[in-house]
Amino acid sequence: MPLFTATDGTRLAYHLRGTGEPLAVLPGGPMRASVYLGDLGGLTAHRRLALLDLRGTGDSADPADPATYRCDRMVEDVEVWRAHMGLEHIDLLAHSAGAALAMLYAARYPHRIRRLVLVTPNPSALGIRATPGERLAAARLRADEPWFPRAFPAFHGWLTGEADFDDVFLPFFYGRWDDTARAHADAEPEQTNEEAGERYLAEGAFTPRETRAALAALDAPVLVHAGEADNNPRPALARRTAEAFGRGEVTVQPGAAHYPWLDDPERFLDGVLSFLDR
């Protein structure tokens, strides 16, 4: 397990898996250890993945200052990591909330990005987010699922602020609610730094106007990979995210939700590799 030191002295860890050209990977959560990404549906057979544990997660140390859990404060962690790995330019893949960090990094260091893949991204860095109404509309498309009658009222209550988070609606985040999905969901609490997650998207983290201007000028190709059944982002929001980039494009994986490499590994690999290997 390689280690490096951030500019504030925090020791950070990353994990190397697979063979081939390097692909740097930022996890989501927010602030979930990178182990939940697994082999990204078999991507390790085609690329050597470098999966970063963000500060305070996984095998990385807690910072002295908890304020550095805020997304924009970790951009320099990614740049120090790139330099540590000896890469002049990087292919960068980010999932969910990790996409917000990837966008800020690309905006600040556009000359370091060779290709950028955003998987079911959180577009908060662009000043856009899924609304409760949009998320509930997506959830209603799952009405034929056996778990829907119990899950939907709880999901509605959480999104409208009338109830707390409830594990009963976790199936909405997966295209297939099977044993693999259940095990993946069950592992989440131990893999996530909840305090850090609450700080990650805190006020002041984003300056959307400046970020949009920088990303519109980004010369690198960008893929936004969405899940057809995902409620955050829905495919329409994923398309809006791609439009913020000068060379952005979208793929929508049929039947997939927020973790498309679990829902259908072959389709996920086809979409991502056709972009990376172009």
Q: Identify the CA nearest to 81 among candidates 105, 99, 65.
A: 105
> Could you tell me whether strands 11-17 and 3-5 are parallel, antiparallel, or unpaired per DSSP bridges?
antiparallel
pTM over 0.85: yes
pLDDT in tens, the chain (278 residues): 999 999 999 999 999 999 999 999 999 999 999 999 999 999 999 999 999 999 999 999 999 999 999 999 999 999 999 999 999 999 999 999 999 999 999 999 999 999 999 999 999 999 999 999 999 999 999 999 999 999 999 999 999 999 999 999 999 999 999 999 999 999 999 999 999 999 999 999 999 999 999 999 999 999 999 999 999 999 999 999 999 999 999 999 999 999 999 999 999 999 999 999 98
In degrees and rounded to multiples of 5, residue 207 shows phi and psi of -125, 85
In degrees and rounded to multiples of 5, residue 183 shows phi and psi of -65, -40
